Chain A
């Protein structure tokens, strides 16, 4: 869930903006000119995927896929998430200009962490690769929920306690579903398009999306 305009306190907004600017600066440097279109398309695919609703019990959720994006894009996930959120801001007013920093950080930071933790395990055959991709998808959503709740709590700890707790509980089913979908999706890509999998450790090629 993206935090709306006018809810967070200025220090939290500034903190989020600083993290996002740093992530963007490093992320953009890591994208070479030939990969720019691919990052744009990934960003578009994420935007469309977030419109897909998946049933969970009697209700349904929409996909976040920040873990999947992180695993496939590495550092470039910062610009990709930023652009997708900027478009949502301009088109639907989900989030806003001042919360763009916080919202990008809460989505992209966990995605990056999952890439650093699990990125190199994805190419492994068998259970290890499956578990790594499940954890990548699930952990990214869980941490996104934790960071969003933290942003609320840091703004006004007393008033937002219950709202933040509700937000965290709501992320639990999403986390499990995202983990499963991320694992299946990585397995699919490994068979159909191995080029899109993260490269083994190599600074030059790390952001090569394909």
Chain B
């Protein structure tokens, strides 16, 4: 499955919150945390995000796998930062000097990244993609952009299925990928064919939609009103971020 949404089904408090409230909370949280620097404040942020993750009651093996993948970029930075940052030496192996500043910087990036990502999994991962798209529309994101998102979501699965069939077809014809022009040409034709078929499919579907009265606007049958608990949850998270900002200001004087 290219478009698996393993966390979107469930019955936790977070799953039941309105996607609009969660989207606002996720944006406020991400933007604020991205600007914080103090290690203790960031650690507090990670703890808050962990509480959210626990409250979302997600499938644990899947969640751990996801977090592992997210931290690949962070691991890449851990390979370089501890010795490429100047400062007070902590340990020396031959030409490589590990500095205190480098370690602290790596730790800071790790905490900040995970505080943001954990909260976003708990807030955005617990809604279906189409609901997040509708929430974007509610936040006045341009109609065309949301429509492109809808079409994209709708077609990823069918294009991925198409890719699977073509990959099987070339394999049946004894194709073995190597570092050769033949391999690259085959992949290029495969991509080209995906684009051509996607293009034709888009035209057919668009014509069918126009025949049924599509006028470029999204309509939904889901007229959920924001409830008190949605607003309370968004306010709670916003309050938490304000507290973190206050802590940061206090610690830096």
Contact = CB atoms under 8 A, between A and B. Distances in A.
B128 to A, nearest CB: 10
Contacts of A91: 3-5, 129
Contact of A5 (B116, B163, B177, B190): B116
B194 A48 contact: yes
Interface stretch (A114-122, A123-131, A138-146, A161-169): A161-169
B195 A72 contact: yes
Contacts, number: 241
B203 A210 contact: yes
A31 interface: yes
Classify chain B: how many residues form its interface, as a range: 35 or more
Classify chain A: how many residues form its interface, as a range: 35 or more
Give the secondary structure class of B's interface. helix
A172 interface: no
B11 interface: no
Given A4-B70, A87-B149, A209-B199, A96 B117 contact: yes
Give the secondary structure class of A's interface. helix
B77 to A, nearest CB: 6
A159 B84 contact: yes
Contacts of B30: 5, 96-98
A151 interface: no
Interface stretch (B50-58, B140-148, B245-253): B140-148
A5 B117 contact: yes
Interface string B71-99: 00110110111001110000000000000
A26 interface: no
Contacts of B84: 159-163
Given A92-B69, A93-B121, A158-B86, A44 B5 contact: no
Contacts of B109: 6-7
A192 B33 CA distance: 49
A31 B149 contact: no
Interface string A169-210: 000000001001111110011001100100000000000011
Instruction: Point out which of B5, B30, B187 has the most chain A C-beta atoms below 10 A from its C-beta.
Output: B187
A19 interface: no
13 contacts: A7-B112, A24-B145, A33-B144, A34-B206, A38-B206, A41-B151, A43-B151, A52-B191, A54-B183, A54-B184, A163-B80, A181-B188, A189-B196
